[in-house]
Homo-oligomer: A and B are copies of this chain.
Amino acid sequence: MGTEISYVIDTLYAIFAMTLIIFMVPGFAMLEAGIVRTKNVTAVLTINTLIYAIASLAFLLIGYSIAFGDFGADGMSKWAAFLFQMAFVGKVVNIMSGGVSERAKVIPLAVFTVIMAAVIYPLVVNVTWGANLLEGTALALSMYDLAGSTVIHSTGGWALLAAILIIGARKGRYTANGIRVIPASNIPLLTLGAFLLWIGWFGFNGGSVGSIASKESADAVALTIMNTNTAGLAGAIMVAIIMQIKYRKLDITMILNGALGGLVAITAGPDLYDIYTPILIGAIGGALVVFGVSFFDKLKLDDPVGALSVHLVNGIWGTLAVGIFASNGDDITFMGQLKGVIVVAIFAFVVSYVILYIINKVMPLRAHKDEEVQGLDVEECGVEAYPEFKRAF
């Protein structure tokens, strides 16, 4: 195929994939707006909007160069290559902001977004997908992580763990009488958000193949998207089965999180497997969500959206799964995958913790307890989400 045709097709393909990923912006926003209580919905939507705006601009101005050295891509328009990478950035912070919702203030999260998108995440990308500062050192990573089980999802998950340790649980969540269940306020929004994320994943993983402009690449792209989808299906079904057996209730919030867990788990290597392995990886991903949610609740790590289970646990699982299941006989090893998981974990957790700690000293991350009780919407945003609807309680 001529190089100009290939350049055109891969530019078009990157733009298509980028567009799908941008659907994850309303995807995360609707998912989180559906999960939190009505009194915190506007705040959640506001931080989601600001994350997209701030993270993308910080990545344009600073982060992209740190990650990749410079604007430039041989096989497609350099602007399309940038757009595709830019679409990823906000996701790392979305993962983190969702898990501290209902008590974290918007402005300090916005400040953290700048640092995450301009420096922390770009450094992670640098040593994994990018220019690779670590090359030639003992820390150099050989981890295979096609679309970011570790680079995106675990990084965001570690930042979230740091944030929860600093910010603490929602008031009244863990009491002397046990864990108080706080129900999701709007299930249709949550469902819509989950499916927008799911569709966005086709662009996320499919686009990460990097090219579609040859027979081999086209097959790799289609296999990647099929396997991505399969893991999501298996995650949802696995959780549905567990829910039905354990509780005789098909809890859709868990089922959708199971799908997302499966999607996170497949993300490290959707191009590496036959068509059956993703069923296993996704099903285990779904099960990990169910057990993860209980596990973190036992540790009193309060995470309203289940992001630690979906993104952190499954980010790790998916990266290690490549070491277990990939059989393409090349550089992939379980130990290489494990090393990648650990190096990124230490870096992402420690740096996020330090930065959040400093931000917290300057401007408290946590809303005042009166504000938390009232809901963050009025104080932070001056706008109630549903002012005309009478509250049932």
A196 touches B26 (CB 8 A): yes
- Count identical subunits in the complex: 3
Q: Given A214-B4, A218-B8, are A185 and B387 neighbors across the interface (CB < 8 Å)?
A: yes
The reply on A317 being an interface residue by CB < 8 A is no
For A279, list chain B residues within 8 Å (CB). Answer: 57
Residues of A249-273 whose CB lies within 8 A of B: 249-253, 255-256, 259
Q: Which listed residue, B11, B41, B46, B53, touches A221 by the CB 8 Å rule?
A: B11
With A and B bound together, what is the CA distance between A252 and B380 in angstroms? 10
The reply on A226 being an interface residue by CB < 8 A is yes
For A41, list chain B residues within 8 Å (CB). Answer: 187-188
B390 touches A45 (CB 8 A): no
Residue on B with the closest CB to A392? B390
The reply on A49 being an interface residue by CB < 8 A is yes
For A226, list chain B residues within 8 Å (CB). Answer: 79, 82-83
Q: Given A29-B192, A386-B186, A392-B389, are A79 and B223 neighbors across the interface (CB < 8 Å)?
A: yes
With A and B bound together, what is the CA distance between A188 and B18 in angstroms? 23
With A and B bound together, what is the CA distance between A187 and B16 in angstroms? 28
Q: Which listed residue, B25, B221, B236, B384, touches A15 by the CB 8 Å rule?
A: B221
Q: Given A41-B188, A237-B57, are A4 and B82 neighbors across the interface (CB < 8 Å)?
A: no
Q: Which listed residue, B19, B57, B189, touches A199 by the CB 8 Å rule?
A: B19
Can you list 24 contacts pairing A with B, beta carbon distance less than 8 Å?
A8-B215, A12-B218, A19-B199, A19-B202, A22-B198, A30-B191, A37-B388, A42-B187, A42-B252, A45-B252, A48-B191, A49-B252, A49-B256, A53-B237, A53-B259, A56-B233, A79-B219, A80-B222, A83-B229, A183-B383, A187-B385, A247-B382, A249-B383, A389-B389
The reply on A230 being an interface residue by CB < 8 A is yes
Q: Given A187-B385, A381-B249, are A57 and B192 neighbors across the interface (CB < 8 Å)?
A: no
Q: Which listed residue, B26, B218, B380, touches A192 by the CB 8 Å rule?
A: B26
For A124, list chain B residues within 8 Å (CB). Answer: none
A222 touches B79 (CB 8 A): yes
B381 touches A11 (CB 8 A): no
The reply on A23 being an interface residue by CB < 8 A is yes
With A and B bound together, what is the CA distance between A30 and B45 in angstroms? 15
For A199, list chain B residues within 8 Å (CB). Answer: 19, 22-23
A60-B275, A391-B392 given; name 7 further pairs at CB < 8 Å: A5-B5, A16-B16, A19-B202, A29-B195, A57-B233, A77-B221, A183-B383
With A and B bound together, what is the CA distance between A342 and B298 in angstroms? 59
- Contact mask for chain A residues 166-185; partner B; CB cutoff 8 A; 1 contact, 0 none: 00000000000000000111
B49 touches A388 (CB 8 A): no
B229 touches A33 (CB 8 A): no
The reply on A50 being an interface residue by CB < 8 A is yes
Q: Which listed residue, B9, B255, B386, touches A187 by the CB 8 Å rule?
A: B386
The reply on A54 being an interface residue by CB < 8 A is yes
A218 touches B385 (CB 8 A): no
With A and B bound together, what is the CA distance between A278 and B349 in angstroms? 35
Q: How far is the CB of A158 from chain B (nearest CB, A)?
A: 26
